[in-house]
């Protein structure tokens, strides 16, 4: 089995960066790493390509990354910044149903907010055709060559999913990891974790909290994502210890098995 390849399609928080109408140093930065679409990643291993979340910029992300096909979509949760690009999946399922893996509550959100993607009548390929597959906590699913493990984490008071594939884990929008989930983050080569800002937030890790979590589980390499405009890429990178890195849009990394 080949290495897992990860592309950061977006690394920003729900506003995206630059934030509309903002003239702060990050929003007006000339460093391209400070320009951030909403958070999403693309996973590729052997012949399998999996998208995690459909941000509002998904069409632009797909064009920028040159995505030609998808085998499946994983959803962490159904907040707009991770979810509302769902309609642009239609180009990947013209002649088939595209498998979508998610928690039961996300499936209900798809059924209520985007019901046409499930049972709508197709006219000239104008709508997506998605096949919902319900994920259960700690129960791995096989998607092509990838074994995907859904791990419950907390986003404020709400339980959402992080995902682990081999020695890689993606835990965006995390504010707390339940004690029963901690063992599933052990032995990681690479951890991607949300780090919204310097100071605490009720539904997201701060930089300090994300760092503490990564140290607790002993991840060898850590990338921060879901960043606000309070965090300059250059400044934050200079402040982090060795092995801790700031992700940016279109960063491509490889992860060992």
Q: What is the mean pLDDT of residues 46-75?
A: 97
Task: Answer whether 130's CB lies under 8 Å from 119's CB.
Answer: no
Rounded mean pLDDT, 34-55: 97
Confidence of residue 212 (pLDDT cuts 50, 70, 90): very high
What average pLDDT does the segment 60-72 reach?
Answer: 97
- What is the token pair recorded at 221? 């390499």
| Rounded-to-integer distance, Cα 112 and Cα 157, Å | 22
The H or E element containing residue 230 is: none
Cβ neighbours for 81, distance < 8 A, ≥ 6 positions apart: 13, 14, 16, 38, 39, 55, 56
Strand 4-10 and strand 72-74: the pairing is unpaired
pLDDT of residue 117: 83
Domains of the chain: 4-138+148-255 (3.60.15.10)
Contact call for residues 230 and 18 (beta carbons, < 8 A): no
pLDDT surpasses 60 at 35: yes
Q: What is each CA distance from 91 to 10, 82, 208, in whole angstroms?
A: 20, 19, 40
User: 113-143 pLDDT, tens per residue?
Assistant: 988 888 656 655 678 889 999 999 999 999 9
User: Quick one: how far is CA 140 from the chain centroid?
Assistant: 18
Beta carbons of 71 and 44 less than 8 angstroms apart: no
pTM: 0.96
Residue 246, pLDDT > 60, answer: yes
Q: What is the band of 107 on the pLDDT scale with cuts at 50, 70, 90? A: very high
pLDDT at 121: 64
The mean pLDDT value of the chain amounts to 95
pLDDT number for residue 120? 59
Of all residues in the chain, the percent with pLDDT exceeding 90 is 89
Short-list 141, 137, 153, 151, CA closest to 50: 141
Closest CA to 155 of 108, 107, 202: 202
Exposed/middle/buried for 27, CB within 10 Å: 0-12, 13-18, 19+? middle
Q: Are the C-beta atoms of 93 and 129 separated by less than 8 Å?
A: yes
Is the CB of residue 177 less than 8 Å from the CB of residue 204? no
In Å, how far from its chain's centre is CA 203? 16
Those residues whose C-beta lies under 8 Å from the C-beta of residue 214, and which sit 6 or more positions away, are 191, 193, 222, 244
Q: Rounded to whole angstroms, how far apart are CA atoms 83 and 8?
A: 16
Question: Among 3-7, 87-91, 116-120, which is the least confidently predicted range?
Answer: 116-120
Q: Is 119 exposed, middle or buried (0-12, 13-18, 19+ CB in 10 A)?
A: exposed
Residues with Cβ within 8 Å of residue 212, at least 6 apart in sequence: none
């Amino acid at each position: 089995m080949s290495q897992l390849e990860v592309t950061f399609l977006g690394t920003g928080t729900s506003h995206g960066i630059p934030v509309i109408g903002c003239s702060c140093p990050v929003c007006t930065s000339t460093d391209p790493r400070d320009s951030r679409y909403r958070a999403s990643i693309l996973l590729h291993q052997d012949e399998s390509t999996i998208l995690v979340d459909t941000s509002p910029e998904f069409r632009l992300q797909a064009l920028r990354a040159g995505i030609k096909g998808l085998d499946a979509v994983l959803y962490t949760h159904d907040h707009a910044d991770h979810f509302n690009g769902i309609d642009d999946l239609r180009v990947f399922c013209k002649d088939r149903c595209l498998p979508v893996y998610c928690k039961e509550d996300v499936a209900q959100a798809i059924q209520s907010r985007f019901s046409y993607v499930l049972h709508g009548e197709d006219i000239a390929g104008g709508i997506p055709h998605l096949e919902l597959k319900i994920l259960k906590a700690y129960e791995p699913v096989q998607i092509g060559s990838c074994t995907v493990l859904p791990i419950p984490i907390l986003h404020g008071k709400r339980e959402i999913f992080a995902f682990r594939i081999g020695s890689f884990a993606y835990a965006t929008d995390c504010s707390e990891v339940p004690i029963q989930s901690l063992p599933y983050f052990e032995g990681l080569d690479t951890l991607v974790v949300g780090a919204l800002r310097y100071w605490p937030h009720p539904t997201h890790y701060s930089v300090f909290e994300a760092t503490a979590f990564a140290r607790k589980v002993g991840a060898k390499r850590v990338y921060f994502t879901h960043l606000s405009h309070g965090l300059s890429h250059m400044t934050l990178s200079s402040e982090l210890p060795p092995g801790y890195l700031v992700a940016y849009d279109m960063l491509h990394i490889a992860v060992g098995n």
